[in-house]
A and B are shown apart, each in its own frame.
Chain A
């Protein structure tokens, strides 16, 4: 009956006006009814393929609207849009509908045709139309006719029985269920859930299948097949919705007269509704899906399908197949997988399937974030952690399962032990670790959030431990190396006070400390690793760890044995960063052990550039104009260390400057007039010079100023002032307290300052003495007499001090054999003149056209430019070479 109704709009002899009215009201009502019901339901975004369908339905909606207002020109354009959208959607449709034209589309075409015929026949109305409109009308009519020819057959079919679904839906809608024309329909469609939707879709499919003429009827009769694609279902569903629309309109027609007032209300509601829809473009669509979601679960498997391993695996691969495609909704995927998991659990399909699904979930979560550089959202992170640790627990508890990348999909065994599952725990965990780092980098290191995140480190570490346990069971050395390295990377920068306690005998030597753990892990890697990279990283981490725990000799021996210094430039940036970090800690360790020269040497490369921050990957320097591109910056950002692994830069710099001071100041004093004096530490010189440039030097504030002030005091041999500048409350708070055993360091430092100040004093003032008594010196510098004696002896042996020791009187007798000021100046001048002669010669050579060996010359030549003093030796050598060349 309703079908005839439908056609009545076109063919019946209802008055034009009424039909028009109908149409006006029809649309709102439909939308309303349709959206009304979903308001209560949850909304979930569905498969991305639906986009095409969405386009189509949107355009149809528009067309319907235009119909109502009889805007022919707009309708024409919409129609053209529709045709285009349809051709676009064709591949999808072909796939989904098995080559059939979707019914909702046909319906739209038919509707339009009818409508246009109507309008066309209404001559008076046509006359009244604007010129533009009538023109559009005629062209639309032609186009439509032409277009519809393509679908002639389908349309004919459709016209024959457009009703089935509608009828049934009608009933449901009205809740009366008066006339049930069809047989197998469970009436309560909305609540019914699973099978109703399945059957619905069957119905939808029916006509096309009819056409195909094969097994349609049987198909239709039985309940749904178990493996219907969810997306497939949805498509059907979309068309079901279309059905609703139609059916509702018809119902409206029926009830129109009685319910006019109601309609008005609805219209209002509908308008609101539509506004909402417009506001969140896709939201509208989501809602549609939302309406379906309760029906979703059952769709996964047919109601009474026998859920077995194969079925689940098949389903799983279906879901996974959608992964990575553009239109796939990733959130939905995760949820689907979860559902699948619960289904699998419910049916006790065995650990292999569970693991397989869990793997899929984990990778789906990884995939959720489309950008590699961004961190994932915390809620997903939590899910991920749980997911992975669950998986691992399961893995550990079921020993007869084999997981590997080498297992092909076909070879997987799910039903009986030994299970075989394709996948890699290791990659998963590595990925997890990287995500964790990203996550940490994402949040502000000074906020609570960071601390909260950092608490997950425990989880991550325990996961790594689990994986380690698992892999140890399998004992594949390459993989074990990798997981060990992961563990090492979580371990090496952490300070374990137990180590020092153990050294002091407070803890029995049998107790396992992190050093031992590191030792074990690293040794395994040294022995078994096949790739150089892992070994390099392991050794660096090992050195770092030793240095951190004051094991200076072990650390030094390791770094010397590894010969890393030579090859490190060729390694990847991450390793270079690790190398820099290791060197930094090695320097600190050397400093703690009073090996000032070593400390200086370790740190000099880092500090010289002034780019410590970058070298240690602890932050980007503010860049000067376009020094690096956006991509480069992104890459560099990815390399950054998370905050909790940072090395205190001020500490580093202070240690460096103090060591430089302890080396440089005596050296400067010793070589005051030496033309060949070279800078030991450029950075230190810079600090000194910048303070000298100041017209007024106030009391020191910053760490650097303290060191500079101390250096000045030391130059005069004033050790106590120097000590007070280096070790005071400010500096303690800033620097020294950061050491583990700060007092020891301070003590060591005081002693060193005394010694070096003594040396400086001797260098600076030896020329005013004929002899100095050693006891006086010892008193001045508060050093033990033997210490003074040994220092002076060393200086004499090294020919730094032209003097001899007079034992009976305990005095140092000066020899006065150093050149006078004038002499040294003259020497300096000769050097300079030599240099000048060199460059002059080079000019001359050039004129002669003698280009041999130019490369060699240039090297020395540039050196000299930067730093003339350093060039002295060069000049000599070069000139010798030049003379050789002459022959």
Chain B
């Protein structure tokens, strides 16, 4: 499996090298093969062990508009109480510096299954990273997909709007609308380039030669049912969740409308009363604080629905990608089959 992914890596490098310049300070992320391998190793260890999310720190340097990630180390598991996390990180970096490794903390990585990485904690920690270290990125490694032969490593940065939103700490619909932020504009994907040293490349080519030819034909494996089923189930859960949110919002709307009506009625009554009093030469009733009578109903927070929509979005993308690939494979197999039959028939 690994050789395949490395080969993929190589191909990915070629395609995504030339990316259009973004306004952000970092145009692309260049990852060292070693860092990627370390990250992958850690993630798989975690996912096979107890299905937990693996997290770690990325070390590297900023070179002009490129963030070079040259090394990484995993975070300890949370359940270990005796160790102080920050201390551990600092000690780790200090030691790495001693062996002459880049010790500039430039971000963090996290493992994910298909598309479920988008979550509140992720947003929050990335916000903290990005506010303290301007250039930092979060790298998401998809264990499941990679295990099926598609290396999926993605680097994300929060958009300025998202940072602004977090800064305001306001997730009302108005605030979000003013920021023009949606699930699409929460994150900005930064292209990743994997760079290997020449020596590594040479070794890879040598290894590629050593792989027997038949081994490479696995790419026609369809494996549709189970993957698609799993993804569909996840998608359904998300849709349900989003539906709940929509219902919540709907209820809120109704409440607001009812309150508005009440308020209106109250005001009308008050004005009538005042008119009557004026006719009798009495002082008008004192103005009461309307907000006290009608407490504004708390607006439901929109952050969660946004995240859920983001998740749905990734799931859908994945599913459509998977389906198109599968369809292509099906056509290929059909063609191959036909060719084989044609060959054997005469």
Contact = CB atoms under 8 A, between A and B. Distances in A.
Interface in A853-885: 854, 858, 861, 864-865, 868
Interface in A523-537: none
A623 B223 CA distance: 56
Interface in B104-146: none
B239 interface: yes
A854 B250 CA distance: 11
B239 A832 contact: yes
Interface in B210-253: 224-225, 228-229, 232-233, 235-236, 239-240, 242-244, 246-247, 249-250, 253
A836 interface: yes
A846 B250 contact: yes
A561 interface: no
A861 B249 CA distance: 13
Interface string A838-856: 0110110011000100100
A328 B186 CA distance: 86
A843 B243 contact: no
A829 B232 contact: yes
B236 A829 contact: yes
A835 interface: yes
Nearest to B241: A836
Contact of B253 (A835, A840, A843): A843
A842 B239 contact: no
Contact of A842 (B232, B233, B244, B250): B250
Given A822-B232, A829-B235, A832-B236, A839 B247 contact: yes
B250 A821 contact: no
B225 A822 contact: yes
B250 A825 contact: no
A760 to B, nearest CB: 24
B236 A822 contact: no
A825 B249 CA distance: 27
B232 A861 contact: no
Interface residues of A, number: 24
Contacts of B257: 846, 851
A861 B247 contact: yes
A828 B250 CA distance: 23
B278 interface: no
Given A821-B225, A822-B229, A825-B232, A836 B254 contact: no
In terms of DSSP, what is the predominant structure of the interface of chain B?
A: helix
A865 B240 CA distance: 10
A833 interface: yes
Contacts of A836: 239, 242-243, 246
Nearest to B224: A822
Interface in B77-102: none
A826 interface: yes
Contacts of A820: 225
Interface residues of B, number: 20
A833 B319 CA distance: 15
A249 B233 CA distance: 106
B108 to A, nearest CB: 33
Nearest to B228: A822
A820 B247 CA distance: 31
Contacts of B228: 822
Contact of A861 (B224, B242, B250): B250
A821 B229 contact: yes
Given A821-B229, A822-B228, A846-B257, A828 B246 contact: no
B243 A832 contact: yes
Nearest to A836: B243
**Interface-central residue, B224, B246, B253, B254, by most chain A CB under 10 Å:** B246
B233 A825 contact: yes
Given A846-B257, A861-B247, A865-B247, A825 B242 contact: no
Contacts of B254: 846, 854, 858
Contact of B240 (A826, A832, A840): A832
A822 B233 CA distance: 10
B158 to A, nearest CB: 27
Interface in A287-343: none
A864 B232 CA distance: 21
Contacts of B236: 825, 828-829, 832
Best-buried of B233, B235, B247 by chain A (most CB within 10 Å): B247
Contacts of B249: 843
Contacts of A861: 247, 250
Nearest to A861: B247
B225 A843 contact: no
Given A825-B236, A836-B246, A846 B253 contact: yes
Contacts of B235: 829
A839 B242 CA distance: 10
Interface string A682-717: 000000000000000000000000000000000000
Contacts of A826: 232
A840 B246 contact: yes
Interface string B14-54: 00000000000000000000000000000000000000000
A848 to B, nearest CB: 11
A839 B243 contact: yes
B239 A833 contact: yes
A821 B242 CA distance: 24
A847 B177 CA distance: 15
A259 B246 CA distance: 104
A656 B150 CA distance: 53
Contacts of A833: 239
A63 B254 CA distance: 78
Contacts of A832: 236, 239-240, 243
Contacts of B239: 829, 832-833, 836
A389 to B, nearest CB: 65
B304 to A, nearest CB: 15
Which 9 residue pairs spanning A and B have beta carbons closest together?
A: A839-B246, A846-B253, A836-B243, A825-B232, A832-B239, A842-B250, A829-B236, A839-B247, A843-B250
Interface of A: 820-822, 825-826, 828-829, 832-833, 835-836, 839-840, 842-843, 846-847, 851, 854, 858, 861, 864-865, 868
Given A822-B229, A836-B242, A842-B250, 7 more contacts: A822-B225, A829-B232, A829-B239, A832-B243, A842-B246, A865-B247, A868-B240
17 contacts: A822-B225, A822-B229, A822-B232, A826-B232, A828-B236, A829-B232, A832-B239, A836-B239, A836-B242, A839-B246, A839-B247, A839-B250, A842-B250, A846-B253, A846-B254, A861-B247, A865-B244
